[in-house]
Amino acid sequence: MFDPLLHQNIRSKLISLLITNEELPFKALKEYLEVTAGNLSSHLSKLESAGYVNILKSFEGKRPKTVIYITDAGRMAFYKYIQELKKFVEEN
Amino acid sequence: MSEKDEALKHLSEIKSALVDKETFFPYNYNALMIWGVIGMIMTLFMGIIFKSSIFYGVVFSAILMSAGTIIEGFLTKEVNRDYDIEGCTKKQKFIVTIFGLLSFFAIALTALLTKYELVVLAYPIWIFLIGIGHFSVGFILNIKIIEFSSLLKIFVAILLLIASFFISDLGSLNSTFFYFVQGITFALLGVFPMLIGRKLKKEL
């Protein structure tokens, strides 16, 4: 019934954070969500495959750098998901 | 837990993540130590310099505030680099803007108060304005200790202004009242930020 990608605690929090902050570095998301790097990568790749987020990997000198952005599709899907949750609560 | 309860719990968690003020904010708390030192220097010399020349007073304050901002900028850049952030975040911009505006206003007001032989009043006004700045920061970032200390600053500043009603000479830098006000300013704008910076640094 609900979008299975968003109906998951970590992923919905992750999208919420991206909506408030527009873009966030990988390290910041990892600290805020209190998850391991592997766990976060796994959630992010699912969201990226669905086109909900963009992951930009680059190098600054020799340092690897990863920044995550929310896409318009991600915003729309999240908005729809919230509406569905609200509707479900009202109807039950 | 029923499906409805689960949905409600999920909605509430999303709401917290969306509206929670305690969002990501990289900050190097050494900057608070620097501001503490600047607060001490300002408290000790501001009155004397402004009294000798308003122009030098303005230059002195502007140099100190700019130095603090530049040092904080370097420290922030450093901490941002750790988080792969180029430039600065919206919240960092907000903080720099609010303190820039408050400092500008405080310097202008100090110049004016000195002109009208009321330089002692500049101290509670600085305490009040910095308190307002800290209150905004503490509130936005949900840092209770900053919020609490800023309310204390605001409260003390108001008390000092009320006490000033009963003092006849607010232009003298040799009165007991001036030393009292200077001591309180030294504690609130000099010692306090250093202690808070140290505490928050330890908590990291």
Shortest CB distance from B17 goes to which of A7, A13, A85?
Answer: A13
What is the full DSSP assignment across A49-71?
HTTSEEEEEEEETTEEEEEEEE-
Residues B174, B122: Cα–Cα separation, whole Å: 15
Window 4-23 of A, Cβ < 8 Å to B: 7, 9, 12-13, 16-17, 19-21
Q: What is the pLDDT of residue B186?
A: 96
Rounded-to-integer distance, Cα B45 and Cα B158, Å: 23
Q: Domain coordinates of chain A in residue numbers?
A: 9-84
Task: Kindly give, in sequence order, each residue whose CB lies less than 8 Å from that of residue B56, ignoring residues fewer than 6 positions away.
Answer: B49, B50
The range of the structural domain enclosing residue B120 comes to 28-199
pLDDT at B123: 97
Q: CB contacts < 8 Å between A and B, how many?
A: 60
Phi and psi of A59, rounded to 5°?
A: -125, 135
Q: Residue B21: its pLDDT value, please?
A: 45
pLDDT of residue B48: 95
In a domain, B165, yes or no: yes
Give the mean pLDDT per block of 10 residues along chain B (204 residues): 77 73 69 92 95 96 94 86 72 86 95 95 96 88 85 96 92 92 96 89 70
Tell me which architecture the domain covering A9-84 has in CATH. Answer: Orthogonal Bundle (1.10)
Asked if the structure places residue B23 within a domain, the reply is: no
Chain A segment 24-83 residues within 8 A of B by beta carbon are 24-28, 31-32, 60, 63, 65-67, 82
A13, A66, A85 member nearest B84 (Cβ): A66
* CB A27, CB B83: distance < 8 Å: yes
Please tell me the pTM assigned to this model.
0.70
> What whole-number distance in Å separates Cα of residue B28 and Cα of residue B76?
6
Domains in chain B, number: 1
> Which of B18, B86, B89 faces A16 most closely, judged by CB atoms?
B18
